[in-house]
Structure 1
Amino acid sequence: MTEETSGTETATENLREETAEAAPEVAEHDRTAELENQLAEAKQQVLYAQADIQNMRRRAEKEASDARAYAATSFARDVLSVADNLERALAAIPAELREDEKFKGLVVGLEATGRELAAVFGRNGITKLSAMGEKLDPNKHQAMMEMPSDQEAGTIVQEMQSGYMIKDRLLRPALVAVAKKPD
């Protein structure tokens, strides 16, 4: 039995030595796999961070662009009332006063002021909407009333106040009357 015991002990001892030699290799392999996973995770986080930064940069550029393009919106709305009053003043001048030599200079000056105001609007991306004869578009027109007309229902038949756009945004809707079928 001593030989058997001695053989079992030797086998056990050999197994311990093999396990001890393999354990560092397994531990080293596990550690390498763990580090590779951490590296992949860190790379993924860097990619996400770069994407976030790029999105923030795009958003900031768009906000800055919009701020430049539409900064004058409030001022433009205020100036529209001046343009409306100038148009009403010119429309109120009777034809005989337009031809009178005493008033002709005044009328020409008012008309020149109106043209200059329109040019300033144009340089700043402010355009007048045309509404007469068009179908009612709730994105551009505000219907104030319906009028009996021989035109198709929903067609604009009267413009009470002009509408304006600033670049691609509505600055002020046109106040209009739309056609309805006569009773």
Structure 2
Amino acid sequence: MIDEPKKQDTATDAEVEKELEGVPEEFLDDGGEDEENDLGEAIAALKADLETAKQETLYAKAETQNVRRRMEKDVQDARAYAATGFARDILSVSDNLARAIESIPQDLREDEKFKGLVAGIEATQREIDKVFGQHGVSRIAAMGLPLDPNQHQAMMEVPTNEAEPGTIVQEMQAGYMIRDRLLRPAMVGVAKKPD
């Protein structure tokens, strides 16, 4: 028997099209330029997203650092000025002790019966001043200084030739600072030129 040459499987265009019927077009596309464009756009979008995320991370870190600094300052202020309310209240006790000491006449200070009482009141005043110093409470200087509206409150004007106008010549109530903050202004009388 004579061998017949084998038929090669060559399909015609019509046959191929018939076979590919029903297959979605995106699977039939050979890719080419459209696929490269889509990849380029996707990469560009991802790069933009990455840059946005980097910026947001930097802003978040900066904000966190600012919040931390603010909180540290608040904690320091709370420690430094925690006694402010109590110190303001205890100032009236200190004022009354100072008035008590000033009101004792000299002859009673030397009297044997009152010496112990006077010494006790003076010791109590020194102790209060010591405790104020330990907590950063200090007395504001006033007498003989120019009026400072940040520390002194002028209550009256005193006509006099003995001091320059605007100089404090009388202190009615002592003023106090707690560290660098005003606790209570000094109530003072200020010199003015006589009429």
Tell me the amino acid that sits aligned with residue 61 of structure 1.
E
1 or 2, which has the higher helix percentage?
1
Over 6 Å off, 4+ runs: none
Q: How does 1:3-14 map to 2 (within 5 A)?
A: none
Which position in structure 2 is the counterpart of 1:110? 121
**SS of residue in 1 equivalent to 2:188:** strand
Which position in structure 2 is the counterpart of 1:4? none
**SS of residue in 1 equivalent to 2:147:** coil
| 1:63 equivalent among 57, 67, 74 | 74
Identical-residue share of aligned pairs (%)? 62
Which position in structure 1 is the counterpart of 2:3? none
Q: How does 1:39-54 map to 2 (within 5 A)?
A: 39-54=50-65
Normalising by structure 1, report the TM-score: 0.87
Deviations 1:121-164 (A, max 9, x none): 00000000010111111110000000012221111010000000
Deviations 1:60-116 (A, max 9, x none): 111121112112111111100000000000000000111111111111111111111
Q: How does 1:9-158 map to 2 (within 5 A)?
A: 20-150=31-161, 151-158=163-170
The separation in 2 between residues aligned to 1:55 and 1:49, in whole angstroms, is: 10
Deviations 1:22-49 (A, max 9, x none): 2222221121111111001001001111
Aligned residues: CA RMSD: 1.2
The separation in 1 between residues aligned to 2:62 and 2:169, in whole angstroms, is: 52
Deviation at 1:20, TM superposition (A): 4.9
Q: How many corresponding residue pairs?
A: 165
> Structure 2: where are the runs of 5+ without partners?
1-29
Which position in structure 2 is the counterpart of 1:10? none
Deviations 1:4-28 (A, max 9, x none): xxxxxxxxxxxxxxx9522222221
Which position in structure 2 is the counterpart of 1:179? 191
The separation in 1 between residues aligned to 2:66 and 2:102, in whole angstroms, is: 52
Rg: which structure is higher? 2
The separation in 2 between residues aligned to 1:45 and 1:61, in whole angstroms, is: 24
Which position in structure 2 is the counterpart of 1:161? 173
> Structure 1: where are the runs of 5+ without partners?
1-18
The separation in 2 between residues aligned to 1:149 and 1:156, in whole angstroms, is: 11
The separation in 1 between residues aligned to 2:86 and 2:43, in whole angstroms, is: 65
